[in-house]
Amino acid sequence: MERSHFERLALEALQQIPDDLRAFLDNVDIVVEDWPAQDQLAGHLIGEDEYLLGLYEGVPLTERHEYGMVLPDKITLFQEPIEAVCSSRDEVIEQIRQTVEHEVAHHFGIDDDRLHELGAG
């Protein structure tokens, strides 16, 4: 899939987040990269046959105190891994949506354990 189309799908997924939650997406940028860099993989327990599909880098809302004058938080979607785990265009679209929702949840301070408990891991 062309990068521009993938990026458009990521923005559409972000627009699907309910307005009352999206209003709290403060100082967050969404970007698309081909693959995660080594420093982005550090600290993540990724199995040999697993991929990192997305990554939230920043200060979650629940941890912001005297927050200001900082670079935006960043949600990165990794296009090649997402496409590798999907077998159709529809699956890619759904995976993008799930990954955006997952990373936005991290922005709100929800960790992976809680996401798994909620069935959104």
Domain ranges of the chain: 3-117
Instruction: Give the Cα separation of 78 and 55 in Å (integer).
Output: 8
What local confidence, expressed as pLDDT, does residue 41 receive?
Answer: 86
What local confidence, expressed as pLDDT, does residue 121 receive?
Answer: 62
**75: Cβ contacts below 8 Å, ≥ 6 apart:** 28, 29, 30, 31, 54, 55, 56, 57, 100, 103, 104, 107
User: Is CATH 3.30.2010.20 correct for 3-117?
Assistant: yes
Instruction: Give the Cα separation of 58 and 72 in Å (integer).
Output: 7
Can you give the pTM of this predicted structure?
0.88
**89: Cβ contacts below 8 Å, ≥ 6 apart:** 1
Mean pLDDT of the chain: 89
What local confidence, expressed as pLDDT, does residue 120 receive?
Answer: 67
Average pLDDT over residues 21-46: 87
Helix (H) / strand (E) element for 19: namely helix 19-22
Average pLDDT over residues 106-114: 85
Average pLDDT over residues 13-41: 89
Query: Does position 28 have pLDDT exceeding 70, yes or no?
Result: yes
